[in-house]
């Protein structure tokens, strides 16, 4: 069993997302530690990219702030090094394929293993396009976390059967960003199809931002991923760590309450 899959044993996993080096290294390190201390089960760390095809305006702006701060893949690994001085929270990277390609697949995956980065979410690398990277991910025990979207349709079973770690179930068409309405019935049907062919956990992503949404979705999914709402808290400034802590505790409280309703 992969280390990520173990996280989901006997609980619903909350997976918040932050952009590395937004707006600086120290804030990112502090934010990840705050998330870990207040109920996050896994933290997804976004590696800024110049053409993030899956990301909406909130995360794109965070990428721009990180670029202004001088982010690089080397800096991202340094951020994880600093986090590892205080926390063993499971971390996955959201990245685009050009980043590990340019860094060198072997070197990138080896560095992930050294820093206990457990998995990679790569929106522009569907399973048919992972041939170059997968041998190195397998070599170093890094899960390649697949995406299943509303458009996956007849590929759902194929993608699910190849999954390790957990499955990234995209709630809606388009890019990341908060949404007031989510297609819960459609998501429920998608997850049922996934569960028929694999026991790998399924976590829902895109659009989720409120505790009430989280409570509903936690009844049908193994985990909830929240990105733009968390990134916006960082963007708003002020007492970022206090605000992050309060938000995470509220989300986690509603997730846990949903198990008993």
Q: What is the pLDDT of residue 1?
A: 60
Give tens-digit pLDDT for 164-191.
999 999 875 444 444 444 567 888 899 9
Q: What is the pLDDT of residue 53?
A: 74
Give tens-digit pLDDT for 49-85.
988 776 778 999 999 999 999 999 999 999 999 999 9
* DSSP sequence for the chain: --HHHHHTTTSPEEEEEEETTSS-HHHHHHHHHHHHHTT-SSEEEE---SS-TT--HHHHHHHHHHHHHT--HHHHHHHHHHHHTT----EEEE--THHHHHH-HHHHHHHHHHTTEEEEE-TT--GGG-TTTHHHHHHTT-EEE-EE-TT-GGGHHHHHHT--S-EEEE-SSSSS---S---HHHHHHHHHHHHHH--S-EEEESS--SHHHHHHHTTT-SEEEE-HHHHHHHHH-SSHHHHHHHHHHHHHHHHHHHTT-
Average pLDDT, the chain: 90
Catalytic residues: 44, 55
């Amino acid at each position: 069993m992969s280390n990520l899959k173990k996280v989901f044993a006997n609980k619903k996993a909350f997976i918040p997302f932050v952009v590395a080096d937004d707006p600086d290294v120290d804030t990112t390190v502090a934010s990840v530690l705050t998330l870990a201390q207040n109920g996050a089960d896994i933290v997804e760390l976004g590696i800024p990219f110049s053409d993030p095809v899956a990301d909406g305006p909130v995360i794109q702006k965070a990428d721009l702030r990180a670029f202004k701060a001088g982010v690089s893949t080397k800096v991202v690994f340094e951020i994880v090094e600093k986090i590892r001085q205080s926390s063993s929270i499971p971390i996955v990277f959201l990245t685009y394929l050009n980043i590990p390609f340019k860094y060198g697949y072997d070197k990138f995956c080896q560095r992930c293993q050294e820093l206990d980065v457990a998995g990679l979410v790569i929106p522009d690398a569907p399973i048919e396009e992972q041939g170059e990277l997968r041998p190195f991910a397998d070599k170093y025990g890094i899960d390649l976390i697949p995406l299943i979207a509303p458009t996956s349709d007849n590929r759902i079973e194929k993608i699910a059967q190849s999954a390790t770690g957990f499955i990234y179930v995209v709630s809606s068409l388009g890019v990341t960003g908060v949404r007031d309405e989510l297609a819960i019935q459609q998501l429920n049907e998608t997850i049922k199809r996934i569960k028929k062919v694999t026991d790998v956990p399924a976590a829902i992503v895109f659009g989720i931002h409120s505790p009430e949404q989280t409570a509903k979705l936690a009844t049908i999914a193994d985990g909830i991923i929240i990105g733009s709402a968390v990134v916006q808290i960082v963007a708003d400034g002020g007492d970022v760590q206090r605000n992050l802590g309060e938000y995470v505790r509220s989300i986690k409280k509603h997730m846990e309450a949903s198990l008993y309703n």
